[in-house]
Amino acid sequence: MAAWRFNVKRTNLWSLIAVAALFVPTQGITAPDVIGTASARGSMRVDGAPVVSNATLFNGSVVETDKATTALRLDNGIEVKLATSSNARLYRDRMVLEKGSGEVMPGAGGFTVEANHLRVIPDQPYSRGVVSMVNTASMNVAVISGGFHVTTGSGLLLARIQPGNIMNFDDAGGQGASTPTSITGCVTERDGKYYLMVPGGTEYLLTGNVEELKHMVGKAYKVTGSPDPNAPPNSNTIIMTAHERAAKGYLACPIGAGAAGGGVGTTTEVVVGTIIVGAAAGIAVGVYESQQSSVPPSP
């Protein structure tokens, strides 16, 4: 009889535990934020762990390639090809490139690539281009289709790049040029407003002494100033504090469309803050797909 009572009590105890487990709060338990997959014809590292062939990507995952390119496919339709010997951190809406090169595929409209404190943004859903880290202070942007524009972290437009062109962005000061110090371009007037146009088609709305601006129209000037904090977002409005004529022969005004659809000449440099924007030699091409000749065994 005692044994029978003991078994009943034990049974009731486990029943209570099972029922109580149903009421354990789950607010603190969240599912991993999966954003897509990475696949390589060889090995790679994802969040520091060696992986062969395929891996799941989470929001903020770090992908490192070795001798094989890696295809990154996000659940929102974004596709990126990471070149060999590259390193990047992936999020749903952007990729932070820390080393090497990454190719943004068509369908990546609105997806941003960040590198060297700058942002590379597709102009069209079908835009395709390659962002390459030359070193810790320099990067190239090669546009294959659709066009891209490059801004500072604060949103100041540095350049628009048309298909077939390559531009280099050299951050000499290592700070990403949150504010400009000088911009060299041609001063134009349109509808009573004054603009500074730089090679490649980027233009800045100039505010300041109107009489001075009138006499600058049609000539090349180096304008010193800073973004207008009261201007609408992305308006590229510069408050002019000083100006001087550009060196003779440095820039011909007015700036034409150019043979490459608005691209810059190979000798042109546009200085914006500590950022030097210039043309880079070569033809815009995609990331060459590579695979390892032999796949190392899984650890």
CA 159 to each of CA 198, 201, 263, 282: distance values in angstroms, whole numbers, following the listed order: 9, 8, 10, 18
- Low pLDDT (below 70) residues in the chain: 1-31, 108-109, 172-181, 200, 233-234, 256-277, 279, 292-299
User: What is the pLDDT at residue 49?
Assistant: 94
User: What is the pLDDT at residue 256?
Assistant: 54
User: What is the pLDDT at residue 218?
Assistant: 93
**Per-residue tokens: 132:** 């390459």
User: What is the pLDDT at residue 167?
Assistant: 86
Question: 224-262 burial, b if ≥16 CB within 10 A, otherwise e?
Answer: bbebeeeeeeeebbbebeebeebeeeebebebeeeebeb
Could you report the per-residue pLDDT of 159-214, keeping only the tens digit for each?
A: 888 898 888 888 766 555 555 567 888 999 999 999 998 876 778 899 999 999 99
User: What is the pLDDT at residue 5?
Assistant: 44
Q: Map out the domains of the chain with their CATH numbers.
A: 34-171 (2.60.120.1440), 182-255 (2.40.50)
- The pTM assigned to this predicted structure is 0.72
User: What is the pLDDT at residue 16?
Assistant: 44
User: What is the pLDDT at residue 222?
Assistant: 87
Omega prior to 229 cis, within 30 of 0: no
